[in-house]
Structure 1
């Protein structure tokens, strides 16, 4: 059996981690998403106490709307830079579950939820400021008869996404503390990769 030269070992070790841009996108989008989600909960469920003048609603939309653009970059980067191989200690069923979980996070939390909010704002004839820089055009014409439906869609998707993100965090922590593998460490920012 041939021995692997030290340079090749280093390259193989790097292949087990995400790239620096993938990490920045992951953690940056996570901060935006969690911040927008928490503010959205406060803005809708405690409107009288915290959002009487709709300042939280504006902030919620300004934080969430950039996700619509960042997800395009993230998907393009993922296509051109595949994720590291999952540990061999994971069963094929667990690996399929990980793939399904990531597809749901991308499709529902990072695409579906912001789109449903954009739809709700469009139906309500309310603007969406993208990080305070420019306004998104409405997706549909205003229609007050669809307001309650649009609100329900966004609200129920947001609670589903809260469960998805909570599950994602729980699985990552399980990898780290129970299975003691490198899955979480591979996404931590302190490991710099190209």
Structure 2
């Protein structure tokens, strides 16, 4: 089957190769970041360990990939959901997709804002300096943003983890209970399908 296979309505039957690659690369990076973040909960945020620089480096790369993914999604139509999917499930699916995109954007941005408020340098993989977000001197002097941003970032990470769990449960529901093609739309192709 080629990537241009269409359904009867003319909609693409599955996501294209770029969307699939971005989905799975970002998913792996996000899971890595969550695991690293959980481990780093036991390390003071102002302790400049190599783990913090790794977390910041992978976070910036993930953020850039998410920007590419959002731009790709805005310019490439998603495959249609099954026609027999109830309207309420379609609404929930759309809402969940929107929430996941928002979290993928806000979470790295809050991390970037947090280290910027703390004036902590970002050196991508120990090689390239990444600029901090310029903040007014009054904000830097007050220290309030530096105090609240770790809590906001942490809260967003935990709630994002909850939404990821719901996303995985929904995928399992479609694969094993509804037994429809929703999950297949985003899975990489096997050699026999080319």
The interval holding the TM-score normalised by the smaller chain is: 0.7 to 0.9
* Cα deviation, residue 135, structure 1: 2.7
Residue 11 to residue 70, structure 1, CA distance change in 2 (3 Å): same
Q: Secondary structure at the match of 2:81?
A: coil
Deviation at residue 131 of structure 1 after TM alignment: 4.8
* Structure 2 match to 1:174: 173
Per the alignment, do residues 53 and 75 of structure 1 end up closer, same or farther by CA in structure 2, a change over 3 Å counting? closer
Gaps of 5+ in 1: 1-6
With structure 1 as the length reference, what TM-score do the two structures score? 0.84
Contact 1:119 1:140 (C-alpha < 8 Å) held by counterparts: no
Match of 2:185 in 1: 186
Give the C-alpha shift of residue 105 in structure 1.
0.5
Matches of 1:22 and 1:130, distance apart in 2: 25
Aligned equivalents of 2:73, 2:99: Cα separation in 1: 15
Which of structure 1's runs of 4+ aligned residues deviate more than 6 A? none
Aligned length in residues: 183
RMSD, aligned CA: 2.6
- Per the normalisation by structure 2, the TM-score is 0.84
8 Å contact from structure 1 (residues 66, 131) kept in 2 = no
State the partner residue of 2:113: 119
Q: Deviations over 1:42-71 (max 9, x none)?
A: 112x227xxx76222111111111122112
Distance 1:133 1:23, change over 3 A: farther
Partner residue of 2:159?
160
